Amino acid sequence: MTAGVAMEPTELEELMEARAEAAHEREVGDATRPTAQDLAASPTRIDVEGLDLFYGDHHALKDVNIKIRDKQITSFIGPSGCGKSTLLRCFNRMNDGIKDCRIEGKIALDGQDILGDCDICRLRQRVGMVFQRPNPFPMSIYDNVAYGPRGMGVRDRAVLDELVEDSLRRAALWD
Ligand SMILES: Nc1ncnc2c1ncn2[C@@H]1O[C@H](COP(=O)(O)OP(=O)(O)O)[C@@H](O)[C@H]1O
Ligand SMILES: [Mg+2]
């Protein structure tokens, strides 16, 4: 050891702990934590009311009521299989493709119902998802990136080329 001042292990531990606490306080101290008033003042973007979801006979979501607020981070925390992903998938209608999946109740995005008749392409433009693992379609990278704009009617090759390159550059994947 070349340290100028020798320290007992317990002293060192205490010092490390105090530093970690100070760093934690700087990052997530009360000043940055939203109060109950801040939360109530933040407009509701996604409003879930009395949501029930069934996979066949399996009642996976039971009477879920939650307001997701603008510019707040909302986390779903719970044991594996409790329904976190199922609820998330509801927000851009990804359960639609699951056979025997049935949904009851209400979900509104900015006050507009998203469970009834709604333009799913438009909904998915507004409600994106980032998955744990990337899940590209079995086609080229170009076609994967161009899938969205093509779905919205963009056909011009030059426009698509630019969109694809720009998207890949912005995601630091171009190189
Ligand atoms: N596609 C599916 N078909 C049938 N049951 C499913 C399907 N996806 C999830 N489930 C069931 O719904 C429940 C909730 O699952 P899930 O939403 O994946 O939980 P979590 O994301 O919290 O781990 C589990 O009992 C799971 O087995
Ligand atoms: Mg999950």
Q: Which of 73, 53, 72 is nearest to 63 (CA)?
A: 53
- Where in the sequence of the chain do the CATH 3.40.50.300 domains occur? 43-116
Phi and psi angles of residue 60, each rounded to the nearest 5 degrees, phi first? -85, -40
- In this structure, whether the domain defined by 43-116 belongs to CATH 3.30.2270.10 is answered with no
Please give the distance, rounded to the nearest whole angstrom, from the Cα atom of residue 164 to the centre of ligand 2: 30
Using a 6 Å cutoff on CB, does residue 81 contact ligand 1?
yes
User: Is residue 70's pLDDT more than 90?
Assistant: yes
User: Is residue 45's pLDDT more than 70?
Assistant: yes
Please give the distance, rounded to the nearest whole angstrom, from the Cα atom of residue 84 to the centre of ligand 2: 5
Reported confidence tier of residue 103, pLDDT bands at 50, 70, 90: very high
Q: What angle do CA 56, 58, 63 make, to 5 degrees?
A: 110
